[in-house]
Structures are given as structure tokens and as C-alpha cells.
Amino acid sequence: MREKTVTKKEMADELARLRQREKRYRNLIEESRDAFIITQYDGTFVDFNQAMVDIFGYSREEMMTMKAQQLYLDVNDRARFQEEMEKHGTVRNYKMMFKKKDGKDISCLITMTAIYQEGRIWGYNGIIHNITERKQAEELYSKLAHNSQAGVFVLQNSKFRFVNPYMRIHSGYTEEELLDMDPMELVHPDDREKVRREAVRMLQGVRQFPYEHRTVRKDGSIIWVLENVTSIDYFGHRATLGNSMNITREREARIKLEEIETLESSILSAIPHAVIGLENRQIIFANDSVKDVFGWDPEEVIGKRTRIFYRSDEDFEEIGRRFYPVLENQETYSDEFPCRRKDGRDIICSVSSSRVGGTLREKRIVVVYEDVTERKAGEESLRESEEKYAAVVEQAMYGVVIIQNEVYTFVNRAMADITGYDVDDLVGMPFLNIFTQAYRKVVMQRYKRRMSGRKVLPLYEAQVLCKDGTIKDVEIAFGIITINKQAADMGYVRDITARKRAEEELTKSFERIQRRLEETVNALASMTEKRDPYTAGHQQRVTQLARAIAEEMELPESQVEGTVVAATLHDIGKIYEPAEILSKPDILTEIEMLMMKVHPDVAYEILKNIDFPWPVARIVRQHHERYDGSGYPDGLKGEEILLEARIIAVADVVEAMASHRPYRSALGIEQALEEIINNRGILYDPKVVDACLQVFRERGFVFKMHPYTELRLRCSN
């Protein structure tokens, strides 16, 4: 009796285990992301899991009233599926297209087994695996590989097995030629060992960043590429996936940037005033003149707060309250402030500051300190005693003048010596008379701004026309004073002709600086764009297009470079234009337009004495001339206009129309191209117009940020 009871218990336990196992299997099926289904031969659903509902979007109740053939994208696929099942009784990873309830197509893999009853197929059970996302990812990868601006390739058994179009472009070989060659044939012989070593390190996971090397193109030219590789499975076998990017221009730009930084460092050291860089009021760099102004060695001040330059904590806080709020809203600010040297002696400094970048982030600024203690003491003495003032002025080595109502009311002997006029001749003379024609406008503009109370740079250069007809370079500085309760302009004039000549000779002797003039030119050109926020980047984009046109016309490399330098500087004359005209949101008046039209002449005067290897000054002067003679300033036409100027004229018009302006929105590239097409042979050189159209429509030219500017912005941020 007892044995029978045990047997029943064992049977009950076994049944419980089977039910438990069935429950686990059911849970696994329900939790699966793949659809598990059972259907009858006619397509009626017998059972399915939740994934079937999720994949097709129908509710369980809806699907139980449907047949499987209603899910096929092509109803004929159902018949083909049943034929396969009749032949083999099973299918594995059978590709099939279905449609969801919302009408969207999905791609699936089917693995099914026939269910037989009395020797005939009663129905089917199996799995539907949705591969739509995987298929889309494969298509996306294929598109990315074929449209990538980097070379993409697959290596297997030391042979190319796949190359994308860009790989063919930057190597110069056809796809058939690449697939038949050893990849090392593309690598410069001197770099092959390095490439093998770095590639192995990358494949082993030792190296985490790309490596650079030289590639020899089919035509024998050499380019620099940035390359990385990784192991992949390619059609069931191990392979190497790699990509390489042409970085020739970026590498050249990097080298040029390093050279310009060296040049800038030299210039910084040559400035006679203390120059420091600050971040959160902590000194991060200082030039050698810090020693002259404050008595500190540059190495001593690095890492310290600027408190060391002031008399007290109160002074330190006060200058911060004066400067930083202003620099939040404008790029530069200047003021005079009491300071203290390392030896404890108090001095007065002219403090000029400029924020780094477009915004005042982390209080990053550059500050220039000029010790003006003696000058301030002299001014104080002048205010205290007219006799002392006269004595000091008459003995000064610089020319000292006072201007009221636009005439000289006082000049000292040094001023007479500079100009060649007697003192009596100068007193009462209109003050503009001694300046050359080219400088009269800017001198008058600065005079009017000072007299109206606006901020003006205190120091600038000009040229004076002496009594004997000779021209001298001078450095002038003015400030507003009050004489007999009336505002007057007082300043000094220093003859810097000898210095200018020495600088010119020094410039000629530095061949290395001449070779890198383009980088310095770019920095100079940016000064113009900073004054006009609406045309920021205009000169750089004109330069990009001018270069592309010149190269399309197959000009000699030297002529292309001359075009680039001139294009970079073509609007430098606008540095003397009033900012309110440059950024005016309305159409300019006739007078304002006339003022704008002098910028080629101003640019010519700025550039004519610079010993460029190309006629840059003449090119810039002519960039507003027109093919039919209707341009300015000289009304030149046809071949009378330098070819480089004709190229810049077209590039300037296209960029200006395609970009936003204060008085109108951007008109777009197509309207800009329509303008040069309509005026081909009238306003613009036909050959230049044809090259420009080729650049846009055949070469796919687009304006982009200049690499140097991009790098500089990244560094500043």
C-alpha cells in the first residue's frame, strides 16, 4: 500500500516539474523580442506571443480574426513560402517583406517548421525576426561610406577589398587599380615602417588615436593623411576597416600658425609697454617690458594676481569695478590709473584692455600698461604755471601744438623744425594744411570725434607736407584741454621718418617674415571685420572664392598667392570709415556712398609702401573697377585692370549678394550668379565669370570658415 502512494507522489512531482518548465518556456517566449507564432495551413493564427503584437501593431483580438497572408507586402510571397515548406518542411533565415498595421514596410527573417498531421502539413510554427533597423543601419553605413569626405577602405590578406569614392579621389587611382594593389604602395617609402608599426598598435588596442603619414598619389604628388584602423569581420573572415583624411592643408596651416605665433611672440617682446594676459585676474603671460614699467621680471609675475601692480586692495577692487563691466559690452576700454612698482614707487599708468574672444569669459583679457607718470606730471605743471608750461614745451624734443577752431593757436620750436615753417607762419594756419592729402580726412575725423567728447585712440601715425615739399612720417597724439573756458586740442607731433625708414630696411632684411606675410595679413584684415559685425568673415569668404577662381583659371601659383593676399586685404581701407556707416541698416546717402568709395584709395596708401612680392596695393585699389570702365576710383576698363583685381571684383560681388547686409537680407548664391551672368562682358571679365560659374556648378564650391580663424576661435574659447 505504501509503495503505491510513493509512486503517485513521484508522478505528481514530475507533473509539477513539467508544468513549471512549461511556464518558464512560456515566459521566455513572451519576453522575447522575436515573434513566436503557430498558424494553420490556411494562415489562421493559432497562437503567438506579445512580440508579434508589438512588431505588427495589431491588437491580439484583431490578429486572431486575421490570416497570415494579410501581413505580406506581396501576396505572392505567401505562395512561394508554402512551396518552400512543401519541398523542405522547414525554412531558416528566409528573408520576407511584411507590412504593419500603419502601412509601414518591415524586413524580417523567418525560421519556420511545418506541423504534420496524418502525413500532410496541418500548419506552421516558428520565429519572425524583425531586421528592419539592422537593414536601415546597413544602408545608412553604405551611404556614409560612399558619401564620406574621408577615404574608407577594407583590407583583407594585404589587399584592398573595398574602397569608397573619396579614397579613389585622394589617391588618384581607379577602383580597379586600387583593388589590385598592395596598400603599402600608397604609403611614402620613408613612412612605411612607421605605418606598419602604428597600425599594429592600433589593432592591438595599444594606440587610441589616429596617426599621420604621407601618401603618394598616382601622379607622384604627395599628400598628408590622418588614418586609423580597426579589426572587423568581413564576409566571415577577419579584415581591417580603415579611414584616412587628407590633412595636407590643415598641416600646412598648423605649421604656419606655429610660425605666426613665434612672430607674434617677437612682436610682443618688442612693444615698449608692459603687456600681460589675465584669466580671472590671474596673470598667465607677461612681456619683457613688465620689468621696465613695474620692476618685476616676467617670470616672477606669472601665476600671481594683478594686485601686485596696485597700491592697495581698494585700488585693486576699484580698477576691477571700472574695467570689467565695460568689457562685458565692448571689446576694448582704456583709462588712467595709479599703480605701484616692485620697489614701492607709485606711478600713473595708461591702462588699455581688450577682452579675448567675443565675450568676457573667465575674465580673459589682455592689458597694456604705459607709464605716463612723467607725462601726467608735466600736464600738472602746465596747469599750475603757464610760464613753466611754456618753458617745458619750448624745450621739448617733440612738436607741441594747440588747436582751437581748427587753426593752430600755439606751436613750439620743435614743431617749426619738423615742418620747416616759422612759428609765426604756423600760428593761425588751418591745422590740416601741414598734412598730406591722403591723411587730411582721417586727421579731421579724429579731431571732430575728440571735440565731440567721443573716445578716440590717443596715438596714431600720419604724414606732414613740409614747407620745402618733402614728406615726413610723424607720430601724433592729442587730448582735449580747456583754454579760456573753451575746448582745445593739444598734442605732440614726433618725427618718426628715420624710424620708419629703419623699419622698412629691417623689414626687407627679415626674409622669413616676408615669406609668412599672408598670416600677418589675415590678422590685419580681421581688424576691418571687427568694426563691422554685419560683414564679419566677408574678406575671408571673398579670399576663398578668389583663390578657387584663380586656381580654376590655372594661374601660376605665385599669381594665385598674390590674388589671395590682395583679396584678404581688399577692404582694409574701411578701417578708416566711420563704424556708423559700415553698419548702417539703411541704404547709404550719396555723401555716405562717396565716403565709402574712398576706401580703395585709403587701402592703396596703407599698402603701397609694403614690399609685397605682388602688386597688392594696385590690385586692392582696382577691385571696384568694372570691365566697361564704369567703376572707380580711376574708371579703368578691360585689360587696363589687373587680372587679380578682376577676379576679386567678381568674388566680392558674389559673396556680398549671397550674404546678409545691414540694409537687406542675403539674396542667395543663385541670384548672385545670375548677376554676374547678366553682366558678363559688361561689368565683369567673361573669363573670370566663366571660371566662377565652373567653381560653383561643377566643383561644388561652398563658403566656409577659414581654418586659421576656426583654430583661433577654438583656442580663444
Which range in 127-141, 380-394, 500-514 is most confidently predicted, on average pLDDT?
Answer: 127-141
Specify the pLDDT at position 364: 87
Does the pLDDT at position 368 exceed 70?
A: yes
Report the pLDDT averaged over residues 312-319: 92
Phi, psi at 497, each rounded to 5° = -60, -50
Q: Is 677 helix (H, G, I), strand (E, B) or coil?
A: helix
Which string of DSSP letters, residue by residue, matches 360-406?
-GGG-EEEEEEE-HHHHHHHHHHHH-HHHHHHHHHH-SSEEEEEETT
> How does strand 151-156 pair with strand 237-246?
antiparallel
Three cell numbers written together for 689: 565669370
Residues 6 or more apart whose Cβ sits within 8 Å of residue 327: 333, 353, 355, 360, 365
Report the pLDDT averaged over residues 629-635: 93
- Is residue 591 within 8 Å of residue 617, measured between CB atoms? no
Q: What percent of the chain has pLDDT over 70?
A: 82
pLDDT (tens digit per residue) in 257-271: 676 656 556 666 667
Report the pLDDT averaged over residues 318-342: 89
pLDDT (tens digit per residue) in 56-91: 999 989 989 999 889 998 888 888 888 888 888 899
Please state, in angstroms and rounded to a whole number, the distance separating the CA atoms of residues 83 and 334.
89
Task: Identify the band that residue 247 occupies on the pLDDT scale cut at 50, 70 and 90.
Answer: confident
pLDDT (tens digit per residue) in 407-424: 999 998 888 999 999 989
Q: Give kind and range of the element (H or E) at residue 38.
A: strand 35-40
How far is residue 18 from each of residues 14, 32, 35, 297, 311, measured CA to CA in Å?
Answer: 6, 21, 24, 89, 92
Task: Identify the band that residue 327 occupies on the pLDDT scale cut at 50, 70 and 90.
Answer: confident
Three cell numbers written together for 620: 586692392
Provide the 10 A C-beta neighbour count for residue 517.
18
Specify the pLDDT at position 711: 43
Specify the pLDDT at position 4: 46
Does the pLDDT at position 604 exceed 70?
A: yes
- Is residue 163 within 8 Å of residue 152, measured between CB atoms? yes
Specify the pLDDT at position 260: 60
Residue with cell 516558428: 126
- Dihedral sign (CA 674, 678, 684, 690): positive
Instruction: Find the helix packing angle between 517-530 and 248-270, rounded to 10°.
Output: 80
pLDDT (tens digit per residue) in 1-10: 444 445 766 6
Does the pLDDT at position 163 exceed 90?
A: no
Task: Give Cα 214 distance to the centre of its chain.
Answer: 26
**Mean pLDDT lowest among 40-54, 287-301, 585-599, 646-660:** 585-599
Does the pLDDT at position 126 exceed 70?
A: yes
Q: What percent of the chain has pLDDT over 90?
A: 32
Task: Identify the band that residue 124 occupies on the pLDDT scale cut at 50, 70 and 90.
Answer: very high
Task: Identify the band that residue 524 occupies on the pLDDT scale cut at 50, 70 and 90.
Answer: low
Specify the pLDDT at position 207: 76
Cis ω on the peptide bond leading into residue 633 (within 30° of 0)? yes
Does the pLDDT at position 478 exceed 80?
A: yes
Three cell numbers written together for 435: 598734412
Does the pLDDT at position 619 exceed 60?
A: yes
- Is residue 401 within 8 Å of residue 429, measured between CB atoms? no
- Is residue 54 within 8 Å of residue 64, measured between CB atoms? no
Task: Give Cα 293 distance to the centre of its chain.
Answer: 37
**Mean pLDDT lowest among 21-25, 276-280, 314-318, 361-365:** 21-25
Please state, in angstroms and rounded to a whole number, the distance separating the CA atoms of residues 130 and 33.
9
Provide the 10 A C-beta neighbour count for residue 89.
13
- Dihedral sign (CA 179, 209, 257, 655): positive
Specify the pLDDT at position 616: 92
Residue with cell 600671481: 304
pLDDT (tens digit per residue) in 481-512: 888 888 888 888 989 888 888 777 756 654 55
Better-scored residue on pLDDT, 717 or 8: 8
Report the pLDDT averaged over residues 192-200: 89
Give the number of C-alpha atoms closer than 13 A to the C-alpha of residue 260, restricted to the C-beta side. 19
Three-class DSSP labels, 290-329: HHHHHCCCHHHHCCCEHHHHCCCHHHHHHHHHHHHHHHCC
Does the pLDDT at position 639 exceed 90?
A: yes
Q: What is the pTM of this model?
A: 0.32
Provide the 10 A C-beta neighbour count for residue 316.
16
- Is residue 93 within 8 Å of residue 111, measured between CB atoms? yes
Please state, in angstroms and rounded to a whole number, the distance separating the CA atoms of residues 109 and 101.
19
Task: Give Cα 305 distance to the centre of its chain.
Answer: 32
Specify the pLDDT at position 517: 58
Average pLDDT in the chain: 83
Residues 6 or more apart whose Cβ sits within 8 Å of residue 276: 283, 285, 286, 287, 290, 301, 306, 366, 367, 369
